[in-house]
Structure 1
């Protein structure tokens, strides 16, 4: 039986990944914070370990001795990374070093391969030297979150060179109804639902012209599993290859909620604008398609609709 360890198992991606692995009969271990156990599906073995506890994190990997490690945990908000850059470096960067080194120790002790997937981010490209971005795009982040992810991404290559099946999955933006409200996409769909139910109001956002490559979170989890089990370890961009602006996302959400004249329900506030904001992050998923046999299953419009429908149901 395959044994898997997932960090960040209670987050958006972790929850979909847990359902996927449990359906396959995997012995699943999840790293959780105190009080999070109740949100886990039946069958997950919970482990209370703080991501900042390097010794505890290493012991967890050594004790579980997993065949697969999916590292999803860390500070996941660019805005928060500006507020807490040191914490972001510790939780999003340094923890990856601990996990990779512990996984290599398990592999050397057992003689069996350990497959590690590091959930990287398009934010490592920051100010990209090409559009679209692929696995060869220069890594040059423009915010603390991207810098921490870049450190972890480079470490993947270091440990791969030492014989570990280490995967750098460079995930572009991916959404679902399970996205926390602290993210702009969920803020938009919650706002659209509220405007529809109340019959008025506005959604206040930052840079409406920022463009992103938005995909469907369960699709991206599928890519993580495919990469973990691929015959060779590789870096792989997971993206749709298409971009839409924040304005387009918001207008699509309002329109799906049945709100007339969506533009009239949008406002901007400089307080919600990032200190730096990459103008266009869009991924080239050629390697994911050709090497992993992966492709997106939902369109931009279907993603927005699923999120709005969920938030309308919650309100009604």
Structure 2
């Protein structure tokens, strides 16, 4: 049975990837950060008590800021594949916490590669690594963007991801390590964090439809993104590590839509006009904007036989339907006289 180690397993991508790999009969290990509150909601349905002889999902406390801890986890797990998904992944927050973002996203990747390099040297084992890149690395580069497009990052997050990409390339070439770079364009789902614009929109749609919220405050509605479904994209992460040789791949749908288009589709899905409820707030604009990201996934289609299954309209409908159900549960509690706090509201 193959073993996979996932950093960032409690995030959107980590949860979908863990489920995907378990269905492939992997033993899955995830690195989680210690927190005062439970943060495993996305993977709780996959978890079994480690005393269960059929358990195949195991969690380990660790952090990309702690190289010694990473080495200990590698020694304990002895993985065949590593998926580095851990990050401070919110672009706007990276302007508020640039040093922390660079340490975890950029230097954290280096710590992981160094830990793996030492492990390979001492154990004579074979490990394949997936390094999560981001379309934000392209920044202001003209669309469409593909593997040969020069990076023009426009945020501390994007710059840190570029560093991780080049660490991967360097370690691949210098030490003959199998490291694949996946440059994933925006990928969303009902598991997306509620401070990300797509989920912020679909949560608001459900609450506004049921009278639980009056307004939705957003920033730049004209930014265009190539939006796909996260559940589709974890499959291609796996495919990269099954490929005969490590390479770099753009993962995208090949079509772009503006935030305004996403808004319109989401509100229309429940029979509302978004212009009656949405207001612009300057605090949600980035210091340096990225106007248009559109990926060319032809290399992944040709070499990995991969293409996305969920359309833009299907993605919007999936997320709105999920958040309508969540709003309905919330309204039941409110109607029964309970006060319900909106999760993450303090984070905007």
Supply the distance in 1 between the matched residues of 2:219 and 2:292 (Cα, whole angstroms).
Answer: 15
Partner of 1:50 in structure 2?
A: 63
Partner of 2:2 in structure 1?
A: 2
Partner SS, residue 179 of structure 1: coil
How many residues are matched?
314
Supply the distance in 1 between the matched residues of 2:122 and 2:66 (Cα, whole angstroms).
Answer: 23
> Once structures 1 and 2 are overlaid, which stretch shifts more, 228-237 or 52-61?
52-61
Report the RMSD for the aligned CA atoms in angstroms: 1.5
- Match for residue 71 of structure 1 among 84, 88, 96: 84
Partner SS, residue 198 of structure 1: coil
Give the CA deviation at 1:200. Answer: 7.4
Q: Is the 8 A contact 1:49 1:56 kept in 2?
A: yes
Give the CA deviation at 1:306. Answer: 0.4
Unmatched segments (≥5 aa) in structure 1: none
Partner of 1:59 in structure 2?
A: 72
Partner SS, residue 20 of structure 2: helix
The 5-angstrom pairing of residues 1-316 of structure 1 reads 1-34=1-34, 35-36=38-39, 39-40=43-44, 41-42=46-47, 43-128=56-141, 130-161=142-173, 162-198=175-211, 201-259=214-272, 261-316=273-328
Supply the distance in 2 between the matched residues of 1:160 and 1:257 (Cα, whole angstroms).
Answer: 49
Partner SS, residue 89 of structure 1: helix
Q: TM-score, normalised by structure 2?
A: 0.87
Supply the distance in 1 between the matched residues of 2:255 and 2:153 (Cα, whole angstroms).
Answer: 21
Partner SS, residue 134 of structure 1: coil
Q: TM-score, normalised by structure 1?
A: 0.96
Unmatched segments (≥5 aa) in structure 2: 48-55, 329-348
Q: Is the 8 A contact 2:71 2:119 kept in 1?
A: no
| CA deviation map 1:201-228 (0-9, x unaligned) | 3321100000000000011101100011
CA distance change for structure 1 residues 158 and 254 in 2, over 3 Å: closer, same or farther?
Answer: same
Give the CA deviation at 1:159. Answer: 1.0
CA distance change for structure 1 residues 37 and 79 in 2, over 3 Å: closer, same or farther?
Answer: closer
Partner SS, residue 86 of structure 1: helix
